[in-house]
Amino acid sequence: MIKHRALIVDDEFAAREMLRRLADWDAAGFEMPVMATNGKEALQLCQSQRFDLIFADIEMPVMDGLTFIAELHKLNQKPRIVIISCHEKFEYAHRALKLGAEDYIIKDLMTPNELQAILCSAVLGDSVPGKPVKPGEDLNLMLQEAVLDRELEDRPLPKEHCAVFLVVPDDYERLSFEQSATAVSLKMDLFAKESDCLAFYYNQAGAVYMLCSLQDSDSSARFINNALVLAESIRCRARRHGLTSVSIGVSDSIENLSALQQACRQAQEAANVRVIAGTGKTILYNSISVRKNLLDFDRLDQLFKRLEDLAYHANVSCVKIVDRLYSAELSSGFADANSYRYINERLWTIMIILAQTRGYPYEKITREMGLDLGEINQMTDKTQITQLFKSFLTRMIATEAGPDSKDIVQNALTLIENEYMTDISLNYIADKLHVHKSYLCRLFKDEVGENIMQYILDMKIKRAKYLLANSHMKLYEISDSLGFTSQQYFSYVFKKQTGSSPNEFKRTQLP
């Protein structure tokens, strides 16, 4: 069997050795890589030898990596080129990709899986899909329906061998508190819109569902390899948008729209395994059959909801639940740092919500605790961790509550009244009122008796009905005036809420 050949170009011996040792070259179908210390030396090697894959640093003496790539093109050779550098500046990535490099990876962030995926991609050929044909608006809506656990009709998808990739930022809660929920939401939304996929849905809760096509995945091995390659491409793109660490859950392969609902559940289940497997990884649903039952997620969710409810009502019994969250029985006797981190982060979020109901800013919370979440995650003593959380919960419950809940809801209603005709979101409202979105949702439902986003949607539809009956505005003008992303989406929502399309409703208003 003919082996593939790779060239590593880097002036640092340690960097070359790291790449050489990080991958199982033989298993991927490669000879051991050839080494070069600068671009000029690499170019001389390419003049006399053939290489299928080239890893090149950017800053090197004699000839840098970007110049090397430009000179390599003059030889009419077309190996796959991956830039590996310690530089995170976007202009380097932009120039490298413009010169024909297929990827740009930061040295310190490279993982064995990422490198192995690149090798598999070179062997399989063009396994990462090129830029797909832009999907119709309806496919995005269908993905949203599937995420919301609604059944879809039995129709073929536009491409064969599709899968749902669920991208979850590992530090979403921390980012949303430090940078504001709106800022993080904008990053996530931009990342989702710029992703090369058939359809996407950002659920405004720190997760992006992507429906992706995996070309030539007619065998399990090819599907796994192609999924890993594409996941690493998604991860690189996320880093460029400031999402430094993401976990990615991947569903099984599907070819029909009716399977999309199940694929979304599979991707979610795979992503949940990051609690055990650790963050920053790609987890395929078909690889978690043994591990996925190690934590009882349903029971954990019940306990977290019970704890939050008791804490919200200043019931000190919530403190007892903390011990139960860390008990071995919830993990079938399995407890490690990853499961602790998962529980730590969810408890931390509840504490933030509770503290904000009492007027505590984020900085004061960390000051009161004496340490931040990152430091808590470094602790392995269960007794010490539980004592910290129980102590803080007790202090928060004893603290006099801050702004009156009725004032918060009234301020939300005023804000909605003034801005409901824009693309207003839950994150935006919570940010404006300086409260956590979960707390705001609870208050709004208690006071108004309706979900806050449904309330906003009802106002939009009410206004749309008025404009349809009393104006000569075109559908796209009404859609734009009410902050909908497109006329198609406006029509879809209108019919879903009223049972008739905008045009059908308008005809009923004619004299």
pLDDT at 334 > cutoff 50: no
Q: Do 172 and 108 reside in the same domain of the chain?
A: no
Examine residue 129 and state whether it is found in any structural domain, yes or no: no
pLDDT at 135 > cutoff 50: no
Examine residue 130 and state whether it is found in any structural domain, yes or no: no
The domain that contains 253 carries what CATH number? 3.30.70.270
Domain boundary among 229, 257, 287: 287
The token pair at 310 is 């008791």
pTM of the model: 0.43
Examine residue 271 and state whether it is found in any structural domain, yes or no: yes
Q: Do 233 and 305 reside in the same domain of the chain?
A: no
pLDDT at 248 > cutoff 90: yes
Examine residue 65 and state whether it is found in any structural domain, yes or no: yes
pLDDT at 121 > cutoff 70: no
Looking at residue 130, its pLDDT comes to 36
Please compute, for residue 296, the number of CA atoms within 13 A of its CA located in the half-sphere on the CB side: 15
Cα–Cα dist 290/310, whole Å? 34
Q: Do 113 and 44 reside in the same domain of the chain?
A: yes
The domain that contains 467 carries what CATH number? 1.10.10.60
pLDDT at 403 > cutoff 60: no
Domain boundary among 223, 252, 287: 287
Q: Do 437 and 420 reside in the same domain of the chain?
A: yes
- What radius of gyration, in Å, describes the C-alpha atoms of the chain? 26
Q: Do 70 and 149 reside in the same domain of the chain?
A: no
Please compute, for residue 390, the number of CA atoms within 13 A of its CA located in the half-sphere on the CB side: 15
Pairing of strands 6-9, 53-56: parallel
Pick 357 or 38 by higher pLDDT. Answer: 38
Q: Do 172 and 269 reside in the same domain of the chain?
A: yes
Q: What is the mean pLDDT of residues 372-377?
A: 74
Q: Do 61 and 117 reside in the same domain of the chain?
A: yes
Examine residue 89 and state whether it is found in any structural domain, yes or no: yes
Which helix (DSSP H) or strand (DSSP E) does residue 55 occupy? Answer: strand 53-56
Domain boundary among 371, 398, 425: 398
What is the average pLDDT value for the chain, to the nearest integer? Answer: 78
Mind giving me the DSSP string for 242-274?
T---EEEEE---B-BGGGHHHHHHHHHHHHHTH
The token pair at 247 is 């976990």
Per-residue exposure over 292-304, b if at least 16 CB sit within 10 Å of its own CB, e if not: bebbebeebeebb
Structurally, the chain folds into a number of domains equal to: 4
- SS3 breakdown of the chain: % helix, strand, coil, rounded to 5? 55, 10, 35
The domain that contains 10 carries what CATH number? 3.40.50.2300
Q: How confident is the model at residue 263 (pLDDT cuts 50, 70, 90)?
A: very high
Please compute, for residue 320, the number of CA atoms within 13 A of its CA located in the half-sphere on the CB side: 5
Cα–Cα dist 357/328, whole Å? 32
> Shortest CA distance to 486 belongs to which of 497, 498, 470, 475?
475
Q: Which residue has the tokens 């430090």?
A: 178
Examine residue 1 and state whether it is found in any structural domain, yes or no: no
Looking at residue 167, its pLDDT comes to 93
Looking at residue 163, its pLDDT comes to 94
Q: Do 446 and 327 reside in the same domain of the chain?
A: no
Examine residue 132 and state whether it is found in any structural domain, yes or no: no
- Give the residue numbers spanning the domain of 482: 405-508
Note the residue count of the chain.
511
Query: What's the pLDDT tens digit per position in 410-421?
Result: 888 999 888 888
Q: Do 101 and 14 reside in the same domain of the chain?
A: yes
Helices 382-398 & 337-357, crossing angle to 10 degrees? 10
Looking at residue 333, its pLDDT comes to 41
Q: What is the mean pLDDT of residues 214-234?
A: 81
Q: Which residue has the tokens 């609870």?
A: 442
Q: Do 247 and 268 reside in the same domain of the chain?
A: yes
With pLDDT > 90 as the criterion, what percentage of the chain qualifies? 10
Looking at residue 404, its pLDDT comes to 60
Q: Do 277 and 413 reside in the same domain of the chain?
A: no
Examine residue 468 and state whether it is found in any structural domain, yes or no: yes
- Work out the angle at residue 207's Cα, subtended by the Cα atoms of residues 204 and 208, and round it to the nearest 5 degrees: 100
Q: Do 378 and 412 reside in the same domain of the chain?
A: no
